[in-house]
Amino acid sequence: MPWSQAITREGFSSDPAGKRAVENSDFVRGQFQHYGVTFDERQFSGWRMQNTVPPRILELKAQLHREWLNACTPEQLDPELIIEKYFGSKRQPDCTITTTVVGIPFPPSSQFRAGQMRDAASKVVGLHQETGSGPSTQMVFMGWDKDAVGRAAKGHAAKEKQELRAAEEKREYERAQLHANYCRQARKVVSPVGSYIVDSAEIEREWPDLAKDLCLDIHETEKPGTFEAEFDFGVLEGVMIVCADQAALEQYSSRADRAYEKYWADEEKVDDNDYENISDLDDADEDKRPRAGSKRKAPAPQHRGGSKKHKAASVLAYRLKMRSCETGESEINYHSENGTIEFKDGRYASFVAKANMWFVGRGVKFTARKVSDTPSSRGKEWASYSERQSETERVNRWH
pLDDT band for position 105 (cuts 50, 70, 90): very high
CA distances to 7, 41, 52, 65, 391 from 1, in Å: 10, 21, 9, 22, 68
Angstrom distance (rounded) from CA 141 to CA 75: 15
User: Which amino acid type is present at position 195?
Assistant: S
On the question of pLDDT at 26 being above 90, the answer is: no
Strand partners, 196: 216, 370
pLDDT band at 58 (very low <50, low <70, confident <90, very high): confident
pLDDT (0 to 100) of residue 10: 46
Rounded to the nearest 10 degrees, the angle between the axes of helix 156-183 and helix 146-154 is 40
List 242's β-bridge partners, or say none: 227, 320
Give me the sign of the Cα torsion angle 364, 370, 374, 377: negative
For residues 282-311, average pLDDT: 46
- Residue 362's SS3 state is strand
Whether residue 301 is predicted with pLDDT greater than 60 in this model: the reply is: no
Question: Would you state the pLDDT for residue 290?
Answer: 46
**387: confidence class by pLDDT, cuts 50, 70, 90:** confident
Pairing of strands 44-45, 138-143: unpaired
For 282, 379, 382, 384, the CA distances from 387, given in Å and listed in that order, are: 31, 19, 11, 9
Average pLDDT, the chain: 83
Of 361, 341, 351, the closest CA to residue 207 belongs to 361
Paired strand residues for 352 = 342, 367
Band of pLDDT at residue 15, cut at 50, 70 and 90: low
33-37, 371-375, 382-386: range with lowest mean pLDDT: 33-37
Task: Identify the bridge partners of residue 237 per DSSP, sorted by sequence position.
Answer: 232, 325
Rounded-to-integer distance, Cα 270 and Cα 212, Å: 46
> Is the per-residue pLDDT at 314 higher than 50?
yes
pLDDT of residue 266: 58
Q: With 80 as the cut, is the pLDDT of residue 11 above it?
A: no
How confident is the model at residue 4, as a pLDDT?
A: 40
Q: At what angle do helices 25-34 and 16-23 cross, to 10 degrees?
A: 80
Distance CA 193, CA 24 (A): 78
**Which of 119-128, 275-284, 319-328 is predicted least confidently?**
275-284
Spatial separation of the C-alpha atoms in residues 158 and 31, rounded to whole Å: 57
SS3 state of residue 329: coil
How crowded is residue 312: how many other Cβ atoms within 10 Å of its Cβ?
17
CB 237 within 8 A of CB 211: no
pTM given for the model: 0.66
Q: Average pLDDT for residues 285-302, to the nearest whole number? A: 47
Q: pLDDT tens digit string along 142-197?
A: 999 999 999 999 999 999 999 999 999 999 999 999 999 999 998 888 999 999 99
372, 195 in Cβ contact below 8 A? yes
The domain spans of the chain are 20-157, 190-259+314-397
Backbone angles phi, psi at 68, to 5 degrees: -65, -45
In this prediction, residue 251 carries a pLDDT of: 93
